[in-house]
A and B are shown apart, each in its own frame.
Chain A
Amino acid sequence: MALVQQAAAARAAAQRRARLEPLTELVRKDLKVKYKNSALGFVWSLANPLLYLTVFTLVFSFFLRNNVPWFAVLFMSGYLVWSFFNSAALDSTGAVVGNANLVKKVRFPRVVLPLASVGFAGVHLVLQLVVLFVFLVPFYPDAFGPQLWLLVPALAVAVVFTVAMSLLASSLNVRYRDVQHLLEIIILAWFWLTPIVYPVTVVREELTNAGLLWMFKFYMANPMTPVVVAAQRAIYNHSVVTADNGKLVQVLPAGGYGFYVQWLAVAAAISLVLLVLGLWTFRRLQADFAEEL
């Protein structure tokens, strides 16, 4: 009898260990479903960053001339990380609600549902970064240097922050379905509050001119800002550039790494607090998921 119990206990432990199994399979499923019945499949995801690069190079060179050379590279460095956060957060909002049938009928760790949305967006981020780097090899070799390592902590913070937001959004949306609509609006505003389309230095200059430099700290407290700025520093790799009109323009706040590491640390701290809050909220609410759906 004791042996049987031991075996049962061991298998229960194995069941707990295997809890991330559904995660990889769910991500695999999402990827397969997305590209099912499309002839080019993954090529679409890869074409996306190239299309953006082309369009924004044109836009920033002709229509919205800001004289910054290779502004499209600066833009893409931040935009790819942002779109990871953007699609993961919006996707995960509906992750629990959209899998109601599963949640009501099958016992499995519910937390894998929002995590799968993050994983799905993560796979795309990696693929798109690869495409970007392939493009950078011939056109923008400046990107390849030791500063690229900055991308590692930047992406790590982005993942922690995104997971935290996904846990919050997916669990709260079960109870209050308008979280989804609210989040869409918030994320749109958030995009413009993050230095993606404009360099962060513009904000600092304007705030300095207005005598409100102390507000810059609050601007940087948005965890996505240090992430985006660090990614720009890593890939664009120039803080001061000669503009097309011959003037020197500062596009990134610092040439060294101190500024970025420091702010990434702040963003990491905020993200970890949010992660704890997200896990706590998710755990608290998940007991009622099957009832609420």
Chain B
Amino acid sequence: MSCRGNLKQILSDGKFAITAEVGPPKGSDPSKIIQKGEILRGHVDAFNVTDNQTAVVRMSSMAACCILQKMDLEPVMQITCRDRNRIALQSDVLGASAVGIKNILCLTGDHQSFGNHPEAKGVYDIDSIQLVQMIKNMRDSGIFQSGDKILYKNPDVFIGAAANPFADPFEFRVDRLEKKIKAGANFIQTQSVFNVNKFNIWMDEVRSRGIDKKVHILAGVTPLKSLKMTNRMRFHVPGVDIPDEIAKKMENAEDPKEEGFDIALELINEIKKIKGIHGLHITALFWEDIIPSIVREADLLPRP
């Protein structure tokens, strides 16, 4: 493995990394992604570019990654198993590496029934763990899934995967993380953390198995923008765990944005104390411009 991305370098040096999610636009205007990149420049180390998140059609992840790269910003290309079979996935991995993309985050993907084309046929030829393993084999052994050989240069990518410490069955969640690492994940980005107690229980188990020594774990953080968003995430986004205490703060807030910002800072301060956490992954849905102040206030500047 020789990829020399910024994210890999920071994590390998044992520094605290910050990634942020940038959703490509629902259209073909590149300026939308350029604006987001400019706002975040200098405040995060790499940009996760989503792959038709929540199954809503958007500009392709790879194209948006290329736009960021032209700006000298490092993307993490998210790739899901929902819309592509193993042939298309491997082809995209080769293509991504060819255009210089250094990081790929492997996801199974949000089910198509949640998106703007619920009539679509989902692919799910393979799952996220199989995708991680497939890319690792392409990179390290030069073979495709079928065993056929890669002829002209193995893809050179840093492989990421997601983990949700809050979904059920809770006791299986560390086993599943361990499988992702065994499959070849180099870094992990978690579901947004609101319930620090539950996250700590998960991390205790992670550390007791020595997993934090084998993989870089970036904890998810999402600033809450409004009560409406809080309730939507709380009741309608599967696998998100917002404790009553946080929901109540948002309910009673005079200025929900300010409260959401403060809650995010408190969460970051708690998360920073947890042993084995190597960084943050900030997802500010439709609120990317808040990220620079969060990073600044959380005392995470300057970036390496």
**Are A and B subunits of one complex?**
no
B residues within 8 Å of A by Cβ? none
Chain A positions near chain B (C-beta within 8 angstroms): none
